[in-house]
Amino acid sequence: KQATIACISVNNITYHRFSLVYRDGTSDNYPPPKVITETYIETLKAILERDFFNADIGVIKLINYLNHSKDNLYVNMSYSNKLIKSVVEYINKNYKEPLTLSYISKKFYVNSSYLSREFSKKMNISLLKYIKKVKIYNLSRELLLHGNWESTWREYGFRSYNTYLRDFKNIMHMSPKEFINQPPTNQVNESIEQHELYKYLQQILDLIKSD
């Protein structure tokens, strides 16, 4: 028999960036399989459509569905792993603050060199670069919703407009103004519509919604 396999791969950095630290950990809110399947397919479609905003939203939902499962991903962690998890969650929640390595080290009562080394080892990214990415990713979503690319940066703890502009360009590969003025991605081009996987996904999604 023939089959098509589609997989969404989530690495360590993406998991920690999208894992909501203030979620309700009770199993009562765990969604039914139908909702998870529908979310998964919608996320795959968004990726194929290059609709990265909604793809991100889908990944956030899927990751936090997983976080409700009994097989917790942080069971039997070493002290170092627990520390990094706590630091990541702190950054994810307080990304609008003027975060630095020195500040976070003092916050968690650890040596800054040790924290920097362990963070890079566990996350495959430096602590400062992770902070910048979290700030810019969250700021970019706010720009899509509200615009104001010349003033929104002030709420995210950047030292200056030039620092904000440099970090935004380094991470998003375009200026904030160019980012806001991108053409809309809600229309699917013909090549995507004819994509075999895309057609399968739409058929499955139609079946789920009509069920």
Give the pair of three-digit tokens for residue 163.
Answer: 């620092």
How do residues 58-105 score in pLDDT, each as one tens digit? 887 787 777 665 444 444 445 567 888 889 889 988 998 989 999 999
Helices of type H across 96-126: 101-107, 112-123
How do residues 152-187 score in pLDDT, each as one tens digit? 788 888 888 899 889 988 888 888 888 877 765 444
Q: In 10 A of CB 93, how many CB atoms?
A: 13
Burial of 90 (0-12, 13-18, 19+ CB in 10 A): middle
**pLDDT of residue 113 exceeding 90:** yes
Q: Are the beta carbons of 117 and 80 closer than 8 angstroms? A: no
Claim: this prediction has a pTM higher than 0.75: no
Q: Where in the chain is the domain with CATH 1.10.10.60?
A: 79-180
Q: What is the pLDDT of residue 12?
A: 65
Give the pair of three-digit tokens for residue 57.
Answer: 């939203």
Q: What is the CA angle 47-171-21, rounded to 5?
A: 70
CATH topology of domain 79-180: Arc Repressor Mutant, subunit A (1.10.10)
